[in-house]
Amino acid sequence: MSDFSFNDLLERRLVDLSQCRIVRHDWRGHEAWNHSRARFEHFVSYQKIGSNTPYNGASIAFQFTPMGSTLALFVGAHQILDEWISPPEGRQPVLFDPTAGYDKDDTVHLRYDLERYDPFEDLVGRVVIDWGPGTRAWSQWPARRAKPIVELRANPQDDPFPGFAAFSSSIEEIGLLPTSWQGALSSVGGVYLLVCPDTGELYVGSAYGEGGFLGRWQSYAINGHGGNRLLMSRPRKNYAISILEVASPGMSASEIIHREAAWKVKLGSRSHGLNAN
C-alpha cells in the first residue's frame, strides 16, 4: 500500500485540512454516479438536517463512492456556497437535476448550493483510497484520519470484468458493481450459487428472461429472499454470489431450470442446503 495519502494530495494543492470534509457515500450515491455526474451532484445537494449532515460546516467537500468493502473512488470536489432548510423554503440547489425525481419536498432537510472545485477536476474518477474499517463513519475531517491512496489511474475507468467463471460478489454489493460489469451480468442468464456467510449453506438458483443474472440478484438485494419461501423464513443475510453455469444462446427457460436441478443434485443443496425443491 502506498505511503502517499489523500491528505498529502490535499496539502500539495494548498487545501486547508481543517476546512474540508471527505465523504464516502453509500450505494445510493454510487448508483447516482453510475447514472451520470449530473444525477450524482443532484443527489449530494440534499442532506439530512442536524448532526447527520456530512458537510458539517466545511467549505469544501471531497466526494467518494464505495468500491467493495473499504475502498473508495474520488468522484469530485465541491465548494459549499450556501445552506438552507427546506421546507418551508422551496428553492432548489444550483445543481438541481429536474430529471432525477428526487427533491425531498415532503421532509425537513438541508439543501446546498454546491460548485465544482476546479483544482481537483483532473483527478475525478482516477484516485482510489482505502477508507479503512470505519466505513460507517462516512463523513470525516481528513486531518483526523489520513486515507492512503492505493491507486492513481491514468484515466477514469472501470475495473475490467473478470469473466463469468471468476466473478464473485455479494447481495449487498450488487448495486455497487461497475456499469460495465452490470451490463455483462444483465446480458446473460444461467445457474448461480448463493452461500450463507454464517453457516456456509448453499442455495442454487437460475436466471432467465429480461435482466439476466443481474435482474435476478437485484430482487434479493431488495427484499433479501428473492421470493424463495425457505429464504423468507430466515433472517436476512448478505449471501455470497457466484455463477455455476452460463446459459448458451437460445437455451429455453425450461432447459435452464433443468440445468439448475442438476446442480442441486450435484451440490446437495436440497438435502443439506437452502433449496426447498
CB atoms within 10 A of CB 81: 12
Q: Rounded to an integer, what distance in angstroms lies between the CA atom of residue 46 and that of residue 136?
A: 19
Residue 28 contacts residue 43 (beta carbons within 8 Å): yes
Rg, Å, the chain Cα set: 22
SS3 274: coil
Does pTM surpass 0.75? no
pLDDT at 104 over 60: no
Which candidate, 215, 213, 199, 218, places its Cα nearest to that of 274?
199
**pLDDT of residue 41 exceeding 60:** yes
pLDDT the model gives residue 51: 63
Question: pLDDT per residue over 119-152, tens digit each?
Answer: 999 999 999 999 988 778 899 999 888 999 998 8
CA atoms within 13 A on the CB side of 227: 6
The region of weakest confidence among 18-27, 72-81, 154-163, 198-207 is: 154-163
> What number is the average pLDDT over the span 199-217?
92
Instruction: Specify the pLDDT at position 2.
Output: 56
Q: What is the mean pLDDT of residues 49-70?
A: 86
pLDDT band at 105; cut points 50, 70, 90: low
In this structure, what C-alpha cell is assigned to residue 175?
Answer: 448495486
According to DSSP, residue 148 is labeled: B
Judge whether residue 22 has pLDDT over 70. yes
pLDDT at res. 11: 94
CATH number of 168-267: 3.40.1440.10
According to DSSP, residue 243 is labeled E
Instruction: Tell which phi-psi region holds residue 83, choosing left (phi > 0), alpha (psi between -120 and 50) or beta.
Output: beta
pLDDT tens digit sequence for 212-234: 999 999 888 888 777 777 788 88
Q: Give the pLDDT of residue 222.
A: 84
Identify which has the larger pLDDT, 59 or 187. 59
**Percent of the chain topping pLDDT 70:** 96
Residues pairing with 190 in the sheet:
207, 246
Could you state, in order of their start, the residue ranges of all structural domains in the chain?
6-152, 168-267
